């Protein structure tokens, strides 16, 4: 089975802004999110801390014109190894340090009132996205399908510690295990994240040989996706805990399966209703008839009364799409269109001429109203 294409959550989505957002809009959105998720406002909440790091990373890229241009063009690939952005989205720009100083540590000082707090090593795993293409009928009736994704999983060798079994992580000598270094600036005591341990308070001196100290490894994972009946284009199905593994014992992220539904060659969907067009001949429209039509649920018949006009719609109840997570179905709307023959034999032409001679103006639909309008225009 082919490996799925899995993408990271978009930086613009992380900051809840559009791709055309101005610098001020980016800054305002980041400041709001930073204040909401800052660790000092959410003690003992690893998920909030991870959200804070995620939005800081996104702002660090999008607030830099060069990095933003690279991201807009290449996405996350711009900052992968060998990518146009050079691997690290903060490399060389100093944005990460500035963000930590200005927003992270200062917010901590404002809301924690000087209390010293060691940054937690626990990190929630990233959410993943998988794009699944469905046949039209699969979206209508539902389908169960196995998919394979490539994701980070906890390293079994070190059990997520990042260190070898023989040597556990040691206390950081730079910050003494506090994860922060504080300096006095006027009336404020400003805390800076320890650069040596990245705020964790500990250092891995002997990294795990399997994961190289990263606590996670990349593996393929197969999951059974159950698509309910009645889904539509861009429906998102969330699988909690099926995203990338968290680091240092953090909870895993979620997997979002986004559906792309193929079009049907005959039916067109409008909400939970289906629409189609059925051609009929002039004699069928004039004399009336009974036609058979293939629906998604089998063959049905439609009674066409005599004198039916082109464009008339007939509704078949409960022959549409099932209501998602509810009982009942939509309807099937069939529009009939009278077809005019392109070629006629001499005998057919003679018969039509005879028919025309026997038909008065009153037998032509709407002809009297049209005649009166034309007479008003040219009188």
CB-CB neighbours of 1 under 10 Å = 8
Distance set, CA 179 to CA 105, 161, 175, 205, 213 (Å): 12, 17, 6, 17, 18
DSSP 346-359: HHHHHHHHHHHHH-
Phi, psi (rounded to 5 degrees) for 217 = -135, 160
Tokens describing residue 20:
């055309």
Nearest Cα to Cα of residue 120 among 254, 33, 249: 249
What is the β-pairing status of strands 255-261 and 236-239? antiparallel
Containing 219, the helix (H) or strand (E) segment is strand 216-227
Task: Give the residue numbers of the binding site for Zn(2+).
Answer: 155, 158, 172, 175, 194, 197, 208, 211
d(CA 154, CA 172): 24
Task: Give the residue numbers of the binding site.
Answer: 155, 158, 172, 175, 194, 197, 208, 211
Distance set, CA 203 to CA 21, 41, 44, 158, 273 (Å): 39, 26, 21, 15, 61
């Amino acid at each position: 089975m082919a490996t799925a294409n899995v993408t990271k959550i978009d930086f613009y989505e992380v900051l809840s802004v559009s791709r055309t957002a101005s610098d001020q809009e980016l800054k305002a959105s980041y400041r709001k999110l930073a204040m909401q998720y800052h660790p000092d406002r959410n003690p003992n909440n690893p998920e909030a801390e991870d959200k804070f790091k995620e939005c800081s990373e996104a702002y660090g890229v999008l607030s830099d014109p060069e990095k933003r241009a690279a991201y807009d063009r290449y996405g996350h690939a711009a900052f992968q190894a060998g990518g146009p952005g050079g691997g690290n989205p903060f490399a060389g720009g100093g944005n990460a340090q500035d963000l930590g100083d200005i927003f992270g540590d200062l917010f901590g000082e404002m809301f924690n009132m000087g209390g010293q707090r060691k940054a937690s090593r626990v990190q929630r795993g990233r959410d993943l996205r998988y794009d699944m293409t469905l046949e039209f009928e699969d979206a209508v009736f539902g389908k169960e399908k196995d998919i394979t994704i490539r994701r980070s999983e906890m390293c079994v060798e070190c059990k997520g510690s990042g260190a070898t079994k023989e040597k556990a992580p040691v206390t950081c000598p730079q910050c003494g295990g506090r994860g922060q270094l504080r300096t006095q600036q006027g009336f404020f005591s400003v805390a800076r994240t320890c650069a040596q341990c990245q705020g964790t308070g500990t250092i891995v001196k002997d990294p795990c040989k399997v994961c190289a100290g990263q606590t996670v490894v990349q593996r393929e994972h197969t999951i059974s996706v159950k698509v309910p009946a009645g889904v539509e284009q861009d429906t998102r199905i969330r699988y909690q805990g099926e995203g990338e593994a968290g680091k240092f014992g953090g909870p895993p992220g979620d997997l979002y399966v986004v559906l792309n539904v193929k079009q049907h060659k005959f039916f067109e969907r409008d909400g939970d209703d289906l629409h189609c067009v059925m051609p009929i001949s002039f004699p069928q429209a004039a004399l009336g008839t009974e036609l058979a039509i293939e629906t998604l649920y089998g063959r049905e018949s439609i009674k066409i009364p005599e004198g039916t006009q082109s464009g008339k719609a007939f509704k078949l109840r409960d022959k549409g799409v099932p209501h998602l997570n509810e009982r009942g179905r939509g309807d099937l709307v069939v529009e009939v269109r009278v077809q005019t023959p392109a070629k006629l034999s001499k005998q057919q032409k003679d018969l039509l001429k005879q028919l025309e001679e026997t038909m008065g103006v009153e037998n032509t639909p709407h002809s009297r109203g049209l005649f009166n309008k034309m007479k008003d225009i040219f009188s």
